[in-house]
Amino acid sequence: MNIVWEKKYNVNVLEIDEHYSHLIESFNELVKLVKRGTEPTVISASVDLVHSHVQNCFNTEETYFHKLGFCDMGDYRHGHSACLKKLSQFKRSYDRNQPLINLAHVEGIARALMGHIASSHSDFNAYMKENGIRRFIRAQA
């Protein structure tokens, strides 16, 4: 599995889109490492990097989304927390049970993450369009 970023996921906030670009690169690298059967400590470090990129993405989104009055931030933060919790659980499980973790586990995380992104970014793009905010965001990015 290789995550391919689609233009429809962009929110035209340079900082958010750049953070997601780095996340996708690090996640695809993790997939390559797992496929190759790379040394567990290297994979563990790669999971840490993915987690860091996810956290950066979510923090940046929350900052912009809050400033623009997009959605109920409590619900949104709950979704982010749930995603980060799953990633942390995967990391702990991987560190304890390395031989039992396989590509299917990594792909499950990818599907959950991309589902969240597809939904939240689509909703945010619609909100921006409805409220005529696109130019403001591009000018500020």
117-131 pLDDT, tens per residue? 888 788 888 888 888
In a domain, 1, yes or no: no
Tell which wins on pLDDT, 103 or 85.
85
Report which DSSP code applies to 5. -
Q: Which amino acid is at 49?
A: L
Domain carrying residue 22? 7-140
Does residue 2 sit within a domain? no
pLDDT digits (tens, 9 = 90+) for 19-78: 888 888 998 998 899 888 888 888 888 888 988 988 888 888 888 888 888 776 777 788
Assigned domain for 41 exists:
yes
DSSP designation for 4: -
Q: Residue 95 and residue 81: Cα distance in Å, rounded?
A: 21
| Count of domains for the chain | 1
Q: Rounded CA gap, 141 and 121, in Å?
A: 16
pLDDT at 29: 92
* CATH number reported for the structural domain that contains residue 49 in this entry: 1.20.120.50
pLDDT recorded at residue 141: 40
pLDDT > 50? residue 134: yes
Q: Locate 86 and state its tokens.
A: 């799953």
pLDDT class of 98 with cuts at 50, 70, 90: low
Assigned domain for 127 exists: yes
Nearest to 70 by CA among 9, 137, 8, 18: 137
pTM: 0.79
